[in-house]
Amino acid sequence: MIARHLGDPRLRAYLWQALALAAVVWLGAIVVGNTVANLESRGIASGFGFLDRSAGFGVTMSLIPFGETSSFGRAFLVGLLNTLLVSALGIVLATALGFVIGIARLSPNWLVAKLAAAYVETLRNIPLLLQLFFWYFAVLRALPAPRGSVDIAGLIFLNNRGLYLPVPVASTGTVIALAVIGAAAALLVAAAAFGFGTPAMRGRVRLGCFALIGLGALWLIASLGWDRPHLAGFNFRGGVSLIPEFVALVVALSTYTASFIAEVVRAGLQSVPRGQIEASLALGLSRRRTLRLVVVPQALRVIFPPLTNQYLNLTKNSSLATAIAYPDLVSVFGGTVLNITGQAVEVIVITMAVYLAISLAIAFGMGGYNRAVAMRGT
Amino acid sequence: MSTTRNSLFVIATAAFFAVAGVASAATLDTVKSRGHLACGVSQGLPGFSSPDDKGNWSGLDVDYCRAIAAAVLGDASKVRYTPLSAKERFTALQSGEIDVLSRNTTWTQSREPGLGLLFAGVIYYDGQGFMVHKSVGVKSARELNGATACMNAGTTTELNLADYFRAHNMKFTPVTFEKSDETVAAYDAGRCDVYSTDQSGLYSERIKLKKPDDHVILPEIISKEPLGPSVRQGDDKWFNIARWVLFAMLDAEELGVTSKNVDALVKESKNPEVRRLLGAEGKFGANLGLDEAWVVRIVKQVGNYGESFDRNLGMHSRLKIERGLNRLWTQGGLMYAPPVR
């Protein structure tokens, strides 16, 4: 009876898979059990209770309020947000720069093409950590101390503590101005979508809306108060500041990754057969339309999968931040918190899980888009 | 890439905890059969542990490891040094990669029961201090409100500084680096108004600056930093050796036993305390699982505590740090070792 069922290849396949799964689970259980037992026998604290305890240290830059009395859990959030910020900004800048350079490499202009090639070959062949130190220390040394700041119209200040910008402060007028602009824009969209009245009337409505938006914008600017940075004691207070660590990290990550993206873009553009471009030009399409309708859609299909890899690399490379004191996840959580609590296993597990989650999210998003543009059928 | 290496290291350690057997051999036997001592040191802190251009390590912390090697293996040179960042140091000891951590590490409550370590004693009484550029014109740490401070990540420095500014109702911006070389470079480049670490560390890092004379160390000490070597919990025999090697170096200084006179004293001394220390009387080495000449070897090959201090940190070194609290108790300091008897 059993022998007869075992003869069924489908059942046998399920059985093997169940066995393999059980073995993996069993191995996992042993690893976890053994870890806990070993930590206990060595008198090393374990568990995740430390996340609620008060951290007692400060952080250079955080997107959410963080003070010495905040918890280790909040320190984790600060690090996570800083990592996400630098990765997101890096991805946007690297993509923009990478596309420009990738296209420039194919330029018929000899100088432009060679400059782009030189950029790619230099940047991608120097270790990222060295580039990071270059941007950080080279830029830091070149900048003046706070008292000798580069002063732009008394509004923007640049020194070796960072770039200080004024921030607008909203008032009641700002809210009303925003409401007016919003209403005018809505009317404009509605007029375009539903097409009521005569064309002449529509034209007048459109003109009125533009005028309203323009006036609203003027009012908006006038209504804003400005929180200006000013020198107080050791440094500037007020306004917003970009710390040099952040700038160096974003610049290093985006210029480095851009060199790889440029190659991806070049490969994608070159993958479109020359014959198609010639055919499309022969059909009378302009160069612009040829690019937009024939070349780019096909090139994107080739570009996307390797582009995803570059985004993942950039996100993971952002952990080099710890070398130049940018308070990212690895620096704040995997560094300071790990050391204060001594709970290396828990902290590293959480950190790895976060990078895995971020990477999977990026891969998932990019995969979705890739499926949407992928070639279907034959 | 140091970060990648560090992460790999920590992950490897985590993996080690996951798969290692619960029972581990006694450290003394491991060291003897291996033939050398695995000693965790700093990544280069002149005076405590730093390599020269040929890769030979020296410093007070290094001398302590050499003393253990002299006592246990009979040869002070049989030490293998593992340079560790502040972040890696405890994991390296916990995982058994090193036998003893002798790396300017502060003895605190949470590091013993929390991390499963035991400190053998205090090799240097330190306290956290501040260094600023002379041109800033600051005379006291109380004038540092609003300052930006460079320091190392994962140290007691980070916590003390936060406490100090909070206690005095002042604000500061911390900039924390993983390695002290980058911390010093950033401070030197003007990223911070103040550099803070243990005061001994300030003296030893100052000589790395471009213009050391342009920087002053402020008089305030804002914390207690008893620096000492540590070992893993659960191996009492090894802990005894770690502790008594340190005491032996202190006792030797107190009794006037130096590397120059130790050979003569072991034969001629009539002082019973000296005779017990040097193994001419009693069986004190055997208690520790060592032979009776262990202290003679320590003093002869490494020197007593005072000699080591003088050579590495004191007036015969580049750092020229006063002994201060680290004088023997007989001279008004805190160094006080129980007697060998």
> What residue numbers bound the domain in which A26 lies?
2-41
Using the Cβ of A46 and the Cβ atoms of chain B, whether some distance falls under 8 Å is answered with no
Asked whether A72 and A88 are in contact (CB, 8 A), the reply is no
Contact B116 A322 (CB under 8 A): no
pLDDT digits (tens, 9 = 90+) for B58-107: 999 999 999 999 999 999 999 999 999 888 899 899 889 999 999 999 99
Same domain for A98 and A202, yes or no, is: no
What fold does the segment set B128-223 form as a domain? D-Maltodextrin-Binding Protein; domain 2 (3.40.190)
Kindly give the interhelix angle for A199-223 and A172-194, rounded to the nearest 10 degrees.
160
**Tokens 């060679």, residue?**
A114
Q: Of B114, B10, B230, which Cα lies nearest the Cα of A43?
A: B114
Task: Please tell me the predicted confidence (pLDDT) of residue A145.
Answer: 83
> Same domain, yes or no, for A111 and A147?
yes
C-alpha span between B86 and A342 (Å, rounded):
11
Count chain A–chain B contacts defined by CB atoms under 8 A.
Answer: 169
Kindly report the backbone phi and psi dihedral angles of residue A227, in degrees, each rounded to the nearest multiple of 5, phi listed first.
Answer: -95, 105
Whether B216 and chain A come into contact, CB under 8 Å, resolves to no
Asked whether residue A325 is assigned to any structural domain, the reply reads: yes
What residue in A sits closest to B5 (Cα-Cα)? Answer: A320
> Where in chain B do CATH 3.40.190.10 domains reside?
25-125+227-315, 128-223
At A146, the pLDDT band (50, 70, 90 cuts) reads confident
For residues A162 and A172, membership in a common domain is answered with no
Q: How far is CA B126 from the centre of its chain?
A: 10
- CA torsion sign for A27, A29, A31, A37 is negative
- In a shared domain, residues A266 and A223: no
B10–A contact, CB cutoff 8 A: yes
Minimal Cα distance from A45: which residue of B? B114
* Same-domain check for residues A146 and A273: yes
Average pLDDT over residues A232-243: 79
The CATH number linked to A342 is 1.10.3720.10
Considering chain B, what percentage of its residues have pLDDT values greater than 70? 93
A253 part of contact set with chain B, CB < 8 Å: no
Check A340 against B159: CB less than 8 A apart. Answer: yes
Give contacts of A345 with chain B, Cβ < 8 Å: 14, 17
Number of domains, chain A: 3
CA distances from A244 to A258, B58, B192, B276, B284 (A): 21, 36, 12, 61, 59
Shortest CB distance from B146 goes to which of A42, A43, A232?
Answer: A232
Task: Express each pLDDT in A313-329 by its tens digit.
Answer: 999 999 999 889 899 99
CA distance B330 to B253: 11
Q: Nearest to residue B88, comparing CAs of B41, B125, B131? A: B41
A55-97 pLDDT per residue, tens: 888 888 888 888 888 999 999 999 999 999 999 999 999 999 9
Q: Is residue A56 situated within a structural domain?
A: no
Chain B window 121-180: which residues touch A at a Cβ cutoff of 8 Å? 136, 144-148, 150, 153-155, 158-159, 161-163, 166, 172-179
Q: Which of A115-119, A271-275, A285-289, B6-10 bottoms out in mean pLDDT, i.e. has the lowest?
A: B6-10
Dist. CA A110–CA A107, nearest whole Å: 7
Does residue A32 form part of some domain?
yes
**Which pLDDT tens digits describe chain B residue by residue (341 residues)?**
344 445 555 555 555 555 554 345 699 999 999 999 999 999 988 999 999 999 899 999 999 999 999 999 999 999 999 999 888 899 899 889 999 999 999 999 888 888 889 999 999 999 999 999 998 888 888 899 989 999 988 788 888 999 999 899 998 889 998 888 889 999 998 899 999 999 999 998 898 898 999 999 998 899 999 999 999 998 999 999 999 999 999 999 999 999 999 999 999 999 999 999 999 988 889 989 999 999 999 999 999 999 999 999 999 998 889 898 999 999 999 999 999 88
Residue A203 located in a structural domain: yes
The confidence score (pLDDT) of residue B64 equals 97
One domain for residues A160 and A177: no
Residue A156: its H or E element = strand A156-159
* Same domain (yes/no): A248, A311: yes
User: Do residues B32 and B72 lie in contact, with contact meaning Cβ atoms separated by under 8 Å?
Assistant: yes
Question: pLDDT band at A46, cuts 50/70/90?
Answer: confident
List, in order, residues 6 or more apart from B286 with CB less than 8 Å away: B292
Which residue among A185, A201, A227 closes a domain? A227
Q: What is the C-alpha to C-alpha distance for residues B15 and B219, in angstroms, rounded to an integer?
A: 45
Nearest to A59 among B2, B174, B234 (CB): B174
- CB contact under 8 Å between A44 and B7, yes or no, is no
CB spacing of B14 vs A349 below 8 angstroms: yes
Q: Does A84 touch chain B (CB under 8 A)?
A: no
With b for 16 or more beta-carbon neighbours within 10 A and e for fewer, the B139-158 pattern comes to eebebbebbbbbbbbbbbbb
Q: By the CB < 8 Å criterion, does B185 face chain A?
A: yes
- Closest-CA distance of chain B to residue A252, Å: 15
Are residues A246 and A340 located together in one domain of the fold?
yes
**Which CATH class for the B25-125+227-315 domain?**
alpha beta
Q: Are residues A280 and A220 in the same domain?
A: no
A85 and A178 inside one domain: no
Q: Compare all CA atoms of chain A with the CA of B88 and give the residue at the minimum distance.
A: A339
Residue A47 lies in a domain: no
State the average pLDDT over residues A280-297. Answer: 89
